[in-house]
Amino acid sequence: MHGRYVLDKYYSRGGKAHMQRRNLYLLFAVVLVLIGAAIVTSLYVQAGRQITSFEEARPLPGAVLYDQDGEVIKRLGTGSVYVPLDQTPQDLQNAVKSTQKSKAINQRLARQILEPQGLWARLQLAILPSVLERRYSKRERLEIYLNNAYFGEGAYGVEAASQTYFATPVKNIDLAQSALLAALAQEPESASPFSNANRAREQRNAVLAQMQQAGHIDRNQQEQAAQEAIDANRHAPGYAHHFSDYLGNLLIEELGEERVYQGGLRVTTTLNRELQKFAESMFQDAKLDGALVALDPTSGAILAMVGGRNYLEDSTNMATVKRQEVGTTLRPLIYATGLQEEWAVNHLVEDIQRDFGDFKVDNADDRYWGPVTMKHALVMDLNNAAAWTLNELGLDRFNEFAQSVNLNIAQVDQHLRLVMGEVREGLSLLQLAAAYLPGVSGGNYAQVSAIEQVTDTQNQKVLTDQTGTPKRILSKEQAYLFTDMLLPGTQYGSIRALDMDFPA
């Protein structure tokens, strides 16, 4: 009996120990499960935070400049432009979906959100696609991806890519261009048309074939798009580039660089699209370099501005840069000052070679007319007649007229050499063009303007045209006479050789 009691006691103790070990293992397993659940939950929470931070960190786009037709001129700054999916061409959506499955898009999007550094970040990256799938619909994920994908040449997002490769908003691209962008999303460097046009064509056509196989396009559409040439020329996005630079600098002076480049501003400009395109084409067709400014006579609004023939080769704006040599462009303004002094157009001025103190100038071909009318002196562009007129009127009197049309001539330049266009401090084409406005606006001068209004993301006005009311410089009669004095120059005067197929 005693032996059996001992044995039972032994087995009882062994059973309890076994149960204790089993309970310990069970507790350990539960703890592991809880820790694992906590880790997974933490990963999900932190992955969600990464997505939220990614959305919040996206900068607003730079200011968008619009012409008078409501079309985009150019976008300033580097902030990405977010394009809703319903404004993205269907061909582009189909091209991307044909070449990248939903899972691949999720993984690429996760890579855009998080660049893993360390084990914990890698774990977050692994779980991000699942979090994205729970958080967004398939369309929303595609939209986010298209607006953040890298397409090469520093272009992030479909709008930047379209402007970079085609110099047009993404809403305007065709099937072939859509296929090329889809190819660039996968091979942003090797498929660049700028560095490897053959590879770009090969990859684009491969995308077109996949679109046809997926039923998004038919065989005829595929073949036609595949025949389109690859444009290997670099483009400056938008148009009116010199005008955009000029306006961008004005905006920065008023609002600051950060707000202009990352403030999401909408800028309605004074630019006339048709006139600007025509002006640009004139320089391109004639293969001539130079500058042009077209102003609205009544308001002073800039309707067109060309600062050079090839912006990519030279971005210098010859319309706004100040020149120390401005030719004889100041002479008509000298005679306009005479009109202000009630001189008639047949007022006699002296075209005789003489010394004017420390200034002396020869006429062209060493030919002198003697006493001539003011109008004839201007039409024939007579050097000594202009010098005599400026000397007779007085430099102070001419400077007074110049200031009234916003030509601020420095003290060092208030000299008779102005008749020869020597201005050490310089004057720009834009300044000089504006100074002529009274002649074509009934005698009024309106300050030059390029902006109608600027609004923010809430459609609140940030800036409006503040040029004010035009001021009278010449009487209507004087303005008419001023223009009348200029017209014969193209008929029989000093600029008759100009080939002008429109009235001056």
pLDDT digits (tens, 9 = 90+) for 120-170: 445 555 556 666 666 678 888 888 889 888 898 888 889 889 988 998 889
Q: How confident is the model at residue 4 (pLDDT cuts 50, 70, 90)?
A: low
**156 and 277 co-located in one domain:** no
Task: Kindly state whether residues 486 and 347 are assigned to the same domain.
Answer: yes
pLDDT in tens, 241-274: 999 999 999 999 999 988 888 788 999 999 999 9
pLDDT at 279: 94
Element (H, E) at 444: strand 444-445
Q: Are residues 399 and 452 in the same domain?
A: no
219 and 253 in one domain?
no
65 contact partners, CB below 8 Å, separation of at least 6: 72, 73, 74, 75, 76, 238, 244, 247, 267, 269, 271
**pLDDT, position 120:** 44
Q: Are residues 335 and 484 in the same domain?
A: yes
- Helix axes 102-113 and 2-57, enclosed angle (nearest 10): 80
Q: Is residue 23 part of a domain?
A: no
Residue 2, domain member (yes or no): no
Alpha-carbon distances, residue 174 vs 14, 91, 209 (angstroms):
81, 8, 16
Q: Residue 188 corresponds to which tokens in the numbers above?
A: 């942003």
Tokens of 340: 């202000």
The residue out of 169, 193, 226 marking a domain boundary is 226
Same domain for 307 and 349: no
Q: Please give the tally of structural domains in the chain.
A: 3
Same domain membership, residue 362 and residue 340: yes
The domain of 395 spans: 323-427+474-490
Whole-number pLDDT of residue 39: 45
**How much is the pLDDT for 1?**
53
Dist. CA 356–CA 19, nearest whole Å: 122
pTM of the entire predicted model: 0.76
Domain assignment present for residue 61? The answer is no
- Asked if residue 170 and residue 145 are part of one domain, the reply reads yes
- Residue 20, pLDDT > 90, answer no
8 A C-beta contact, residue 165 and residue 158:
no
Do 275 and 351 sit in the same domain of this protein? no
Do 338 and 479 lie in a common domain?
yes
Residue that finishes a domain, picked among 226, 247, 277: 226
Q: What is the CATH number of the domain that holds 341?
A: 3.40.710.10
Task: Supply the CATH number for residue 115's domain.
Answer: 1.10.3810.10
The pLDDT confidence band at residue 326, using thresholds 50, 70 and 90, is very high
On whether both 314 and 335 belong to a single domain, the answer is no
Residues 168-201: tens digit of each pLDDT: 889 999 999 999 999 999 998 888 999 999 999 9
Instruction: Among 226, 255, 285, give the residue marking a domain's end.
Output: 226
Query: Same structural domain for residues 277 and 385?
Result: no
| Residue in 445, 453, 355, 347 with CA at minimum distance from that of residue 405 | 445
